[in-house]
Structure 1
Amino acid sequence: MPCERTRSVIQARKFLIELSRNTDLPDTIRKQSKQLIRHYPSRMEMLDAGQMEEHLAEGTIFQPIFSSAIECF
């Protein structure tokens, strides 16, 4: 489901942030986490993408699949 996919991406980003700030972890892990974070969209970017996807489906035979995503968070 799109809502679950969006939630997973947002949670993965939060997890990487936690890893990057955890001083108990080796520097290599923290550094790699920071590098990966740069490629993860923010929560707002994910929600914006979903709304754009929903908007593009308007007026077509496709039913919007993201309309409940904001309620998932």
Structure 2
Amino acid sequence: MFRRCWMTMPDERSRAVVKTRDFLVRLSRDSAMPDEVRNEAKFLLRHFPSQDDVILAGRIEEESETLPIGVMGPVFSSTFK
């Protein structure tokens, strides 16, 4: 079966990263979750970008048209909902 791969847009990717961080925060604080799950969420959060990090990365990419970002184009967006 052939599946089409749709490219994720920078604003969609930014939103997904921010929402994933929010999800990991909720998991890490949920006392109903097993300790193993909460500890893994806390570990991942130590290395996960914050919303401010994502916005800053988007601004840098958007304002730096001369930087060799690569074939993909910008990864993040500074504006998303």
Query: RMSD over aligned Cα, in angstroms?
Result: 1.9
Larger helix proportion of the pair: 1
- The alignment of Structure 1 onto Structure 2 pairs a total of residues equal to 66
Are the counterparts in 1 of residues 55 and 78 from structure 2 also a CA contact under 8 Å? yes
Q: Deviations over 1:13-56 (max 9, x none)?
A: 00000000000011110000000011110000100000000111
Output the TM-score relative to the length of structure 2: 0.73
Matched AA of 1:7? R
Task: Please list every run of at least 4 consecutive aligned residues from structure 1 whose deviation after the TM superposition is greater than 6 angstroms.
Answer: none
**Distance in 2 separating the partners of 1:41 and 1:23:** 24
**Structure 1 counterpart of 2:33, from 13, 25, 44:** 25
Alignment-derived partner of residue 34 in structure 1 = 42
Q: CA deviation at 1:65?
A: 5.5
Output the TM-score relative to the length of structure 1: 0.81
Structure 1: gaps (5+ residues): 59-63
